Amino acid sequence: MTAFGYKLPAMSSLLIWGLLWEVIGQMKLTFFVPPLSTVIATLFSVIGTPAFVKAMTETAYAFGGGVFFAISIGIPVGIMMGKSRLLDELLLPWVNIFLSAPLTALVPVLMVLF
């Protein structure tokens, strides 16, 4: 990143945004932007709670299940598409739809399906 012709370290933009966040939060212009220091302090107080651990466990199970099914279904289907021209022609439009569409656009569809 460069600013005014000077090369800045790679993480400097994060530091600038963090500083800006803290300043705006300390000015108390809005309820929706708490100071970064308050957010970090609250994060460390929440991490050890049973509710946080339960939520993290549920998230890890859902993530692991998704990865498992993506690998166990995706790899065999990809291999079959590579070996069968008919299967490739049938499934390639669907693969292209899911690759080209942004994930946020697919969330409502996936919520309805699952």
Question: Do 61 and 16 share a domain, yes or no?
Answer: no
Question: Do 53 and 109 share a domain, yes or no?
Answer: yes
Contact 36, 25 (CB under 8 A): yes
pLDDT of residue 68: 97
Question: Do 61 and 113 share a domain, yes or no?
Answer: yes
pLDDT of residue 75: 94
Q: What is the mean pLDDT of the chain?
A: 89
Question: How many structural domains comprise the chain?
Answer: 2
| Alpha carbons within 13 A on the beta-carbon side of 42 | 6
The low-confidence residues of the chain, meaning pLDDT below 50, are none
Question: Do 10 and 23 share a domain, yes or no?
Answer: yes
- Three-class SS of residue 2? strand
Q: From CA 112, how far away is CA 114, in angstroms rounded?
A: 6
Q: From CA 42, how far away is CA 102, in angstroms rounded?
A: 32
Helices marked H in 1-114 — which ranges? Answer: 12-27, 36-46, 50-83, 85-100, 103-113
Question: Do 35 and 60 share a domain, yes or no?
Answer: no
What residue numbers bound the domain in which 79 lies?
A: 47-114
Question: Do 17 and 57 share a domain, yes or no?
Answer: no
Question: Do 52 and 11 share a domain, yes or no?
Answer: no
pLDDT of residue 91: 94
pTM confidence score: 0.59
Question: Do 106 and 57 share a domain, yes or no?
Answer: yes
